[in-house]
Amino acid sequence: MLNVHWKELGSYYPQTARLIADFMNSHDMDTLSAGRYELEDGCFAVLSEYDTAENRRFEAHRRMVDVQVLLCGKERILCAPLCDGAAEGDFNEQKDVGFYTVGKQHHPAGLSAGSAVLLLPWDLHAPNNPDGEATHNRKIVFKFPVAKLEKCRKHRVACCGDSITFGLGHSRNGQPYPQVLARLLGDGYAVGNFGRNGATAIDNFAWRPDKHSPWIASPQFAEAAVSAPDTVLLMLGMNDSNPTHIFNEPNGGPLTEAVLSAYREGLVRCIQTLRSLPTKPSVILCQTTAMRREAGADWSADYVRDFTANLQKIRAVQQEIADTIGLPFIQTIDQMNDPAYYCDGVHLTDAGYEQLGHIVYAGLPK
């Protein structure tokens, strides 16, 4: 599932977006009559008006992909992976629709005027649910054969991690590393930034509940999942290494075996969850960057010593996991030691994010 404004579809499916834009720009969408409209190459659109209502059935399609564009009103579309649904009878091949019962928690996508949701064959969806009070809606659903859509789609890259991925510290003129990577990869790729400040791989800070911020439980994970990535770049470990983040003391302390074990388990769980997404993306592990004392403010010698040692242990676990699972591993540390790359000892300057983007680009499997 992809949930964006319809004018942003070109970042993911440029040819499909062009066909939608051509139709919508050549018709008065406020007055266009309800009904079916034939497009090119087996594509068509269906415009309808309806009142939103609760308890809509989950459905899925096999031959066609939906791009649902809400023209007026508001609604929620409930979505779930196909594997979470139980079929209600036989699939109707003629109408290309099957109905399902979903027992597990589903993901709601909110639509307002101009919003679009792209639904692939593995996306169970229950459309036309009210978002608050019931409304009278107008919606146009564009239908595209799966083969046509897949032929023109961009390769989607999800950059996942903490504030280093998010890009904390860059100036108005700079770019986080995912944006640098997008520039280097070119038009055939759609790169998403799913970094979250403070995020960790450890998903159970039993000893520091105030620092419980696992990336896998964040909105950024949910957004990365629904972006249907082909490739995932995962960089988590800076906050798992930070002595004051881990221990409730001013100067923190060194990582214990229990913390390292929790990090190992959390990172593996992230990797396994990402690899099990419907698109079965390849996951590439990225080495956590450095910390530089000369760029940090008022750091004690003990804090710097422990933080440095913790990062070394975390990086060793990252290499171990990559080797054990068989993941590509992009090493960053040897090319990120210049103090000019760091704005506060941990986060990067514009030059640092530019350098990191180039390192990741060069490290991608060819």
Between CA 183 and CA 191, with CA 186 as vertex, the angle to 5 degrees is 65
At residue 316, the pLDDT reads 96
Are 235 and 161 in contact by the 8 Å Cβ rule? The answer is yes
Structure token digits, residue 264: 């190992």
Are 52 and 75 in contact by the 8 Å Cβ rule? The answer is yes
Higher pLDDT, 202 or 180: 180
Structure token digits, residue 149: 């859509």
Is the pLDDT score of 185 beyond 70?
yes
74-97 per-position pLDDT tens digit: 999 988 888 778 999 999 999 999
Is the pLDDT score of 205 beyond 70?
no
Higher pLDDT, 187 or 206: 187
How many C-beta neighbours within 10 Å does residue 16 have? 22
The percent of the chain in helix, strand and coil, each rounded to the nearest 5, is 35, 30, 35
Q: What is the mean pLDDT of residues 258-266?
A: 91
DSSP sequence for 5-51: EGGGGGGT-HHHHHHHHHHHHTS-TTTPPSEEEE-STT-EEEEEEEE
Query: What confidence tier does 197 reach under pLDDT thresholds 50, 70, 90?
Result: very high
At residue 122, the pLDDT reads 80
Query: What confidence tier does 69 reach under pLDDT thresholds 50, 70, 90?
Result: very high
In terms of C-beta density within 10 A (0-12 exposed, 13-18 middle, 19 or more buried), how is residue 132 classed?
Answer: exposed
At residue 105, the pLDDT reads 61
Dist. CA 1–CA 60, nearest whole Å: 12
Weakest-pLDDT range from 14-18, 41-45, 61-65, 233-237: 14-18
Pairing relationship of beta strands 155-161 and 2-5 according to DSSP bridges: unpaired
Instruction: Identify the structural domains of the chain with CATH numbers, from first to last.
Output: 2-151 (2.60.120.370), 154-363 (3.40.50.1110)
Is the pLDDT score of 250 beyond 60?
no
Query: What confidence tier does 246 reach under pLDDT thresholds 50, 70, 90?
Result: low
The crossing angle, in degrees rounded to 10, of helices 350-363 and 177-185 is: 50
Dist. CA 63–CA 86, nearest whole Å: 19
Q: Tell me the pLDDT of the chain averaged across its residues.
A: 88
Are 22 and 39 in contact by the 8 Å Cβ rule? The answer is no
Is the pLDDT score of 153 beyond 90?
no
Is the pLDDT score of 206 beyond 60?
no
Cα 174 from chain centroid (whole Å)? 22
Dist. CA 259–CA 133, nearest whole Å: 47
The dihedral built from the CA positions of residue 276, 282, 317 and 342, taken in this order, carries a sign that is negative
Is the pLDDT score of 120 beyond 90?
no
Query: What confidence tier does 278 reach under pLDDT thresholds 50, 70, 90?
Result: confident
Between CA 324 and CA 332, with CA 330 as vertex, the angle to 5 degrees is 125
Is the pLDDT score of 249 beyond 60?
no
Q: What percent of the chain clears pLDDT 70, i.e. is strictly above it?
A: 92
Are 230 and 156 in contact by the 8 Å Cβ rule? The answer is yes
Q: Which residues contact 132 (CB under 8 A, 6 or more apart)?
A: 74
> With left for phi above 0 and alpha for psi between -120 and 50, is residue 239 left, alpha or beta?
alpha
